[in-house]
Amino acid sequence: METYDAVVIGAGQAGLSASYHLKRRGLSHVVLDADDAPGGAWQHRWDSLSMQDVHGIAALPDADLLGTPDGRANTVVPAYFGDYERAHDLRVLRPVRVDAVTDEGDLLVVHSGERTWTTRTIVNATGTWTQPHLPYYPGAADFAGEQLHTVSYPGPAHFAGRRVVVVGGGASAVQLLGEIAPIAADSLWVTRREPVWRTDEFNPDAGRAAVALVEERVRRGLPPASVVSVTGLALREQERAAERLGAYVRHPMFTRIEPDGVRMPDGGLWPADVILWATGFRPAVNHLAPLHLRSEHGGIQLDGTTAVADPRVQLVGYGPSASTIGANRAGRVAARGVATWLAQASSASS
């Protein structure tokens, strides 16, 4: 059986960038992707997310910018990724869901059911979409209404005439409230912390500073925070109708969930039909558990994109690189990390 220089796990922006740069360096590799088709998490985004709604998608390496064509993000971006895989002849096997990566002496073995791939290094690019985060709140199991997470957002029509609680202080909560509030019977926005609004235009320096903060967390082995949690929120034209209805008046978290609604800290009950948890995602890294990469602080400590606990492992699209531009850069850095490891390993053995 072939021993690869690298196995890339995941074919979103980060995995494709890594594969492109590995190929340029002449390093043997294969990309394993759990989805049925190209597009990474973009193919699963909700239908109402148009290309005008997305914040901007960085061009894949050595490809034209996608721009903001008409159409839904969940079809336009996957078509762009599919074209890219073909144009650069990247070897992506799908659907292959990796269950585990094990340490077999000098080599790593990647497992998917009965199938295995043997490799000197891995580049993990599995994103976060498959790990929606649902915080625990007392009473949740007894709620008589409907609860859903952003990951299964069915579009605004589903909420027409209903009383909707939206939980979460990130960009998704702001965007979904913008769609839901104008047609819901009423909406209530609750967040754990006071949301941070950006008062000025987004400036690249502030963006870089925000990414540096997340980078610092990951360097120390802490769980990564989302980049937007440090860049701040802003309302766009499409959210103004909801704003006029008062949808962005933030309320503190409820103290418990009851069958008919949520109990607020002032003791009042806000009757609710639906609770929409826009509470984010966590890195999809369970398959790496056998490698014991987690630090005592609960995150995977990285030096650049290299796992400190095992330098054969690169993580891309993780923490500071969890944006399309960050994923692009991380793919390049990871390919360099793989090459460095292979050079060191071969000089140590000669």
Contacts to ligand FAD by CB under 6 A? 9-15, 32-35, 40-41, 45, 54-57, 96-98, 125-127, 129-130, 172, 284, 287, 317, 322-325, 327
CB of 254 to ligand FAD, least distance (A): 24
CB of residue 220 to ligand FAD, shortest distance in Å: 21
How many Cα atoms are found within 13 Å in the side-chain-facing hemisphere of 131?
Answer: 11
Of the pair 77, 257, the CB lying nearest ligand FAD is at 77
Nearer of residues 46 and 248 to ligand FAD, judged by Cβ: 46
For residue 284, give the 3-state DSSP assignment: coil
- Count other C-beta atoms under 10 Å from residue 346's C-beta: 10
In whole angstroms, how close is the CB of 65 to ligand FAD at the nearest point? 12
Helix axes 13-24, 324-349, angle to 10 degrees: 40
Select 166 or 257, whichever has its Cβ closest to ligand FAD: 166
DSSP 8-state code for residue 174:
H
- Smallest distance, Å, CB 144 to ligand FAD? 29
Rounded CA-CA distance 3/180 in Å is: 51
CB of 119 to ligand FAD, least distance (A): 14
Q: 340: which residues sit within 8 A by CB, 6+ positions away?
A: none
**Which CB atom, from 6 or from 257, has the smaller least distance to ligand FAD?**
6
Q: Which is nearer to ligand FAD, 12 or 61 (CB)?
A: 12
Type and span of the H or E element at 329? helix 324-349
Shorter beta-carbon distance to ligand FAD: residue 8 or 184: 8
The least distance separating ligand FAD from the CB of residue 317, rounded to whole angstroms, comes to 2
Contacts of 322 (CB under 8 A, 6+ apart): 127, 128, 224, 226, 227
Minimum distance from residue 68 beta carbon to ligand FAD (Å): 10
Which residue, 233 or 345, is less far from ligand FAD as judged by CB?
233
Taking CB atoms within 8 Å and a gap of at least 24, the contacts of 45-51 are 45/73, 45/74, 46/74, 46/153, 46/154, 46/155, 47/72, 47/74, 47/155, 48/155, 48/156, 48/179, 49/73, 49/74, 49/175, 51/76
